[in-house]
Amino acid sequence: MNRGSGVLLPIFSLPGNCGIGDFGKYAYQFIDFLYDTGQMYWQVLPMNPIDPIYDNSPYSPLSSFAGNPLFISIEGLISDGYLSKNESCYTNEGNYIDYNNVKQLKYNFFRKAFSNFRPKNDYYRFLEENKYWIEDFSLFISIRDYFNKPLMLWPREVKIREKESIRELENKLKNEIEFNKFLQYQFFRQWFNLKRYANKRKISIIGDLPIYVNHDSGDVWSHPNIFKLDDNLNPRFVSGVPPDYFSKYGQLWNTPVFDWNQLRKDNFLWWIKRYNHLMKIFDYIRLDHFRGYSAYWEVPYGEKTAVNGKWIKAYGFELFFQLKRLRSDLRIIAEDLGYITQDVKNLRNYYSFPGMKVLQFAFDGNPKNEYKPHNYDSTNYFVYTATHDNNTSIGWYQNEATKKTKIDFIKYTRINNIKEVNWAFIRLALGSIAKTSIIPIQDILGLGSSARINTPGTTGNNWRWKLTNLYIPRYVKSRLYDLTKIYGRI
């Protein structure tokens, strides 16, 4: 990995004529912006199917393999002849996504496009290449829509996949199953066209792999044996993190945990399939909650907090060994933020995975703070001004930084102008010894807290922010390019 830099922008946060970012023209324009400013990477968030029940979080998807149909471009369907030109989509919803409205709007177009779809060899090849997951997922999502209920509320005979019940539903929902396969075909077809364009412009895509999967997912329904579940597919244990300085009761994530002993029996086949699938989609993968590959916090199902959990050993060493046998260059980035013990560091270092540094964590008055750039002990890091879980840099300074923090920041950066806070962070990131620096688009544009993507521990207003256009002033582009060049990242 050469010294370089890139920009963090989720697909949904792109401008979009249908009220959400997608794989249409703005995605291509954004790649042009990256190219013009000397960037090497575009980092995105997980692109799997989401649901309002789970706050539309990309980290609580309905599948680890399938794509989010809302990212399918209507203009792309028009260009490919599935829709007529007068069926173009346009809605102006400002900076916040209304997911219910977007889904209703887009699915009306999807139904029309499907009615005009005539399968060809490319489609059948796609189904064959993705047979490990697409049949089960298309059936799962069709049944879920039919019952209009999450997996845990399905009739038991369907939940545990009794053959007769499943056969009956397959017949009843045949057209819907084909419709959902069509959506996946279009998602990946459009995505790979976009990725090819990015790669031709020397832009690599960094994807994101959440360690856990939603209980209400095609993964749990199709592979219940790799999770700690009871006979009714209810979790016996769920995920979380223990109490700490920031949280008296810890965090209860309530996703089922893996049965690592079971995974081990077939040499981590499900994980290998998942990794290989994502490495077709992305050029690099960030592993969310990396510490969970060494040991994870397991809480008995039904607990109201994470207090009564315990640490359970995971087999990350063996998993990565198996992956390494198949691919020498794993292209993995370890999200090693938070409570990190020596065993986690050993795992990261053994496989030489780059870790992460977040500059917003640097300013506590301690000159030895590990997030301050002068304390980086290696070039093998990805340094961020902020991540999707942080405020924007301007928002952080205005609304979160204490007086002590601001004093430390001002002394360190020699900046005392609110309009320059974001650029002070950008300069620190680009100028650090870290091999790669990633900057959220909000910091490049100097946006405040209203452009925050996610506030952990809250629901209702996350994963909604998006750009309304891709107008980026020439002086901003020039400044980003100049700093990128000055610090040897071009």
CA–CA gap between residue 440 and residue 393 (Å, rounded): 9
- Judge whether 66 and 184 are in contact, CB under 8 Å: yes
Beta bridge partners of 43: 8, 206
Q: What share of the chain is helix, strand, coil (3-state, %, to 5)?
A: 45, 10, 40
Task: Assign 8 to helix, strand or coil.
Answer: strand
Catalytic residues: 288, 335, 389
- Judge whether 264 and 257 are in contact, CB under 8 Å: no
- What does DSSP say about strands 436-440 and 381-384: parallel, antiparallel, or unpaired? parallel
**Cα Rg for the chain, rounded, in angstroms?**
23
The b/e string for 34-44 (b: 16+ C-beta within 10 A; e otherwise) is beebbbbbbbb
**Local structure of residue 34 (DSSP, 8 states):** H
| CA distance readout (Å), 403 to 219, 406, 408, 410 | 47, 5, 9, 11
Closest to 70 in 3D by CA, of 99, 94, 96, 112: 99
CB atoms within 10 A of CB 248: 9
With left for phi above 0 and alpha for psi between -120 and 50, is residue 85 left, alpha or beta? alpha
Dihedral sign for Cα atoms in the order 187, 189, 190, 195: positive
CA–CA gap between residue 80 and residue 23 (Å, rounded): 14
Q: Which residue has the tokens 């994470």?
A: 306
